[in-house]
Amino acid sequence: MSKLPPSRLGLALALTTAFVIPSCSTAGSDNMSGSEADQQNAQPESGTTSTFAKTRFPIVLAHGLTGFRQLFGVVDYFFGIPSDLTSSGAQVFVTQVSAAGSAEERGEQLLQQIEFIAASTGAGKVNLIGHSEGGLDARYVMGVRPDLIASLTTVATPHLGADLADFLVDNLAPDGSFGQAVLALFGNTLGTIIDLFTGTPEPQDAVGALHSLSSAGAAVFNQKFPGGLAATRCGATPTTANGIPLFSWAGSSTLTNIFDVSDPSLGLASLFYSESSDGLVGRCSSHFGKELRDNFSMNHLDEVNQLFGLTSIFETSPVSVFRSHANRLKNAGL
C-alpha cells in the first residue's frame, strides 16, 4: 500500500486506540496447571429450556483481537449469545486466549482448551465458531487437529487480511521501526491491563497480531492452512475441508444504531477499505466455506451483539443468527 498523508496517519492512530479499548480482553493463569487453566478459560454455560439448538457436539465460541470471555465477571464478549444458545438446548463453551497475539500463538492456546472440552464432555469433537481473529485461531486448530473439529464457522474473519492492518504496517509499524516498537509497547501494555479486568494473564504479542491480520501475514497463514478458501479473491469457496463442514457470515455496514458510541469509529475505519466492509473486515476477505451471508446490516461489533445489544432495528438480531446456525448444525447431525 502507498504511504498516506499525516492526516490519515493521525486517523489510523486514533482508530487503533478506539478499537482496542471497547473490545478488551484475554486468557489463562500462569499459576495454574495446564488442565486447570484450560478448565477456567473454557467455561460452560448452563440453563436449558428448549431443544431447538441442541447440537450433537458442544458449541465452542472463540473471541477476536482484544476479546474476552467475560469482562469484570459481568459483560460477555458474545453479548447475550451463550445464554440464548444454552436456553435453546446447546452445550456451549466460551474460550479465552491472549488479547493480542498471532493466529498461531492464540491458536495453540485455543487448541489446549478444545482438547480439554472434547475430552471432558466425552464428545470427542466440537462445533467451533470464531469471530474476527478468532476465526483464524479456529482455522489453525482445524489445520493441526482436524479430528477435534465437527464443524468450523467463521464470523467476519479477515481471511485475506484487513486493509486497516495493512495501512498500519506500511505507515506506522514497518519491521524494525521505532513506530513498531511504540505499537508493541502500547498493544502489549493494553493487553496486560485488560488481564487485570479478567484476572487471567497471558503473554501479549501486538506485533504478531498485526502481522496475522495484514494481507501479507494472511497470505503466509493461508499457504499453511488453505482449507475453506477460494482459489481467487471473491471466488467460490469450498464448503468442506477433509470432510469437515465449513461456514461463514459477516456484515457489510458500519453506522447501524445512533445510540451505539462505537459506530462512528467503525465508520471512519471503513474509509481505509476498497470494498464494502463491517468497518474492520472487507466483504470478500470474510468469505470462507459455505457463505451463509456476507451483507448483514451489521458492523464488526454488531456481529457479536455489541455494544450491549445496540444493533440495527432493521436487521435480524445477531443472537437469532447464532441460534439459527446452531439449529442448522443440529439438523446436519453435528
Residues with catalytic annotation? 132, 278, 300
Contact 250, 283 (CB under 8 A): yes
How far apart (Å, rounded) are the C-alpha atoms in residues 280 and 15?
A: 10
Amino acid at 61: L
- Taking the CA atoms of 107, 153, 135 and 60 in sequence, report the sign of the dihedral they define: negative
Contact 291, 325 (CB under 8 A): no
- Taking the CA atoms of 236, 267, 61 and 159 in sequence, report the sign of the dihedral they define: positive
Contact 121, 91 (CB under 8 A): yes
127 forms beta bridges with 59, 151
- Taking the CA atoms of 134, 280, 230 and 328 in sequence, report the sign of the dihedral they define: positive
Contact 275, 287 (CB under 8 A): no
Contact 100, 212 (CB under 8 A): no
For 66, the grid coordinates are 482484544
**CB-side neighbour CA atoms (13 Å) of 63:** 32
- Residue 156: DSSP 8-state: S
Closest to 249 (Cα-Cα) out of 304, 211, 212 = 304
